Structure 1
Amino acid sequence: MDKEQLEFFRHQLQGKKEEIWAEAGKTMSEMTDQTSNVPDPNDRATLESGRSFELRIRERERRLLTKIEEALVRIDEGTYGICEECDEPIGLKRLEARPVTTLCIDCKTNQEKQEKSKGL
C-alpha cells in the first residue's frame, strides 16, 4: 500500500474517531440535562429505555474506538492492510468498507464458518 493510500485511511480513521468522541460528549450532555425527576411512570420508563439504548450504542462505539486506535498503530508500524492470519494484503475495497479490519475476506469468511459450525 502506498503512502497516499495510508494517509487516506489515517484521515478516515481519525475522522471517525472524532465523530465518535463528539457523539459521546453530546450524549453525556443530554443525559445530565434531562431531569430524572419525571413524575409519570410511563414517561420515566420511556426516558430510561432511551438512555439504555443510547448507552448500548456508546458501548459499541467505545469498542470501535479501540479498533480505530489499533488500526492507527498498524499504519504507524507499517502493518496496516496486511491480514493477521495469512499475511497477505487485504483488498482496498474491504478496507474502504471496514477500515479497522485485520483479516482479508477469505480469512474472515473462514473464521465465520468456523464460528457458525461451533455455534458461536
Structure 2
Amino acid sequence: MGSQTGEKIVVDGITIPTQAELLNMPESDYMNEAQQAFFKHLLKEREAQLRSNAGETAEHLRENSIVPDPADRATIEEEHALELRTRDRERKLLKKVQEALRRLENGEYGWCEETGDPIGIPRLLARPTATLSLEAQQRRELRQKLYGN
C-alpha cells in the first residue's frame, strides 16, 4: 500500500494508513474508519488484479496458432490447462474478495462469523478474506480432521 515515494493514499476523504500504522493502532480502535478504508482499498486492488488476470487468460486462450508438431501442441495444451486451473482458483478467490467487500459495507468485516470476536489485524493482513478468528479456524479444521466435513 502507498507509493514508493511515501505519499499517502486518500480514499473518500480518508487517509489510508500503512501496514505499520495499522498494526500500531490500539485494540480499542479495532475496525475504525481508517482500518476499514485500508482493507477496502486492499480488497478493491485484489479484485481489479483478479479481473485483469481473467481477461488476460481469455485473450490468451483465444489466440489460435496452428502448431503442427504434436509435442509442441501437447505442451501448449498443458500450459492452457494449468492456466485454466489457476484462473479457477482465482475465480473462487474473487468471490471471497467480493464477499469480504460486502461484509465491509455491512459492518461485519473483521469479526469472526462463528464467535463474533475480532479476527485481528495481523490475520486480516495475512488473509484479507478471512471470516473466522484464528482460534475458530483451528477448531473448524480440527473438527474436519476428526469427523470429516
Short-chain TM bin: over 0.9
User: Within 2, Cα distance between the matches of 1:98 and 1:64?
Assistant: 11
User: Within 2, Cα distance between the matches of 1:79 and 1:118?
Assistant: 29
**Correspondence list, 1:1-120, <5 A:** 1-35=31-65, 37-119=66-148
Deviation at 1:7, TM superposition (A): 0.4
- Which of structures 1 and 2 has the larger relative contact order (alpha carbons within 8 angstroms, sep 6+)? 1
TM-score normalised according to structure 1 size: 0.94
Which stretch of structure 1 is more off in the superposition, 61-70 or 22-31? 22-31
Deviation at 1:34, TM superposition (A): 3.9
User: Within 1, Cα distance between the matches of 2:112 and 2:143?
Assistant: 18
**Comparing both structures, which one devotes a greater share of its residues to strand?**
2
Structure 1 equivalent of residue 26 of structure 2: none
The runs of at least 4 consecutive aligned structure 1 residues that moved more than 6 Å come to: none
User: Within 1, Cα distance between the matches of 2:69 and 2:102?
Assistant: 49
- Identify unmatched segments of 5+ residues in structure 2: 1-30
Tell me which amino acid in the other structure corresponds to 1:42: A
User: Within 2, Cα distance between the matches of 1:65 and 1:106?
Assistant: 25
Tell me which amino acid in the other structure corresponds to 1:14: K
User: Within 2, Cα distance between the matches of 1:9 and 1:51?
Assistant: 33
Tell me which amino acid in the other structure corresponds to 2:61: M
User: Within 1, Cα distance between the matches of 2:106 and 2:50?
Assistant: 24
Deviation at 1:64, TM superposition (A): 0.6
Q: Percent identity?
A: 43
